[in-house]
Structure 1
């Protein structure tokens, strides 16, 4: 548990760390690979966001823990969304944004990150995410 001296900040950091720990746990990465789990999270969040309509992106982002929401919105250009991308384009983008070696493949990385995020998003919003993705991409959403 982090102690910033401000309970709300402590909670934000703890929630973000929980998601990163879930990614690390799924891969068996030790805590000293926190930069790697952060990079994985970021590499998946951005193409998810960019594939959604502005309204869906905002609804999805609103449910993310506060610090993750900042990562999610970083560099977002709503006027350029939604970006049409199928499964291959999505994975190419994830791979391009993740500079570490991948144990398994890019699809496994995306599934792992999405699984870690799922517990922080309502089932209704999660269903909406799957519904707006093309079938090939929706198949990776847990």
Structure 2
């Protein structure tokens, strides 16, 4: 547990670390690979954010732990969203932003990150998220 002296900050950092640890465990990455789990999380969040309509994006983000919400919104240009893309375009954008090689390829990386995130999002919001995606992209969502 982190001790910043501010209990609410400690909770935010702990929740973010928990999600990063879950991604690391899914791949068997040691803790010194944390930069990869962060890059994977950030990349998938940004591509998801850019694909969603603004209202749905905000509803999804509202359920993320506070620190992850900041990562999600970092660099966002709502006036330029949603970016229409299907599965292969989405995966290509992830490949361009995630500069590490990963066992199982990009599709497995996306699926792993989304599986971890699903555990922290309400079932109703997850269903809404899937409903807002084209069928090819919805297939990536667990």
Q: Give TM class, smaller chain.
A: over 0.9
TM-score using structure 1 length: 0.98
Match of 2:111 in 1: 111
The alignment yields a C-alpha RMSD, in angstroms, of 0.6
Q: Which runs of 5+ in 1 are unaligned?
A: none
How many angstroms does 1:24 deviate by? Answer: 0.3
CA distance in 2, matches of 1:32, 1:7: 26
How many angstroms does 1:5 deviate by? Answer: 1.1
Match of 1:85 in 2: 85
Q: Deviations over 1:91-141 (max 9, x none)?
A: 000111101111111010000000111111111110011001111110110
Q: Which runs of 5+ in 2 are unaligned?
A: none
Match of 2:43 in 1: 43
How many angstroms does 1:83 deviate by? Answer: 0.6
In the alignment of these two chains, the number of paired residues is: 142
CA distance in 1, matches of 2:128, 2:107: 20
Q: Give yes or no for the alignment of 1:59 onto 2:36.
A: no
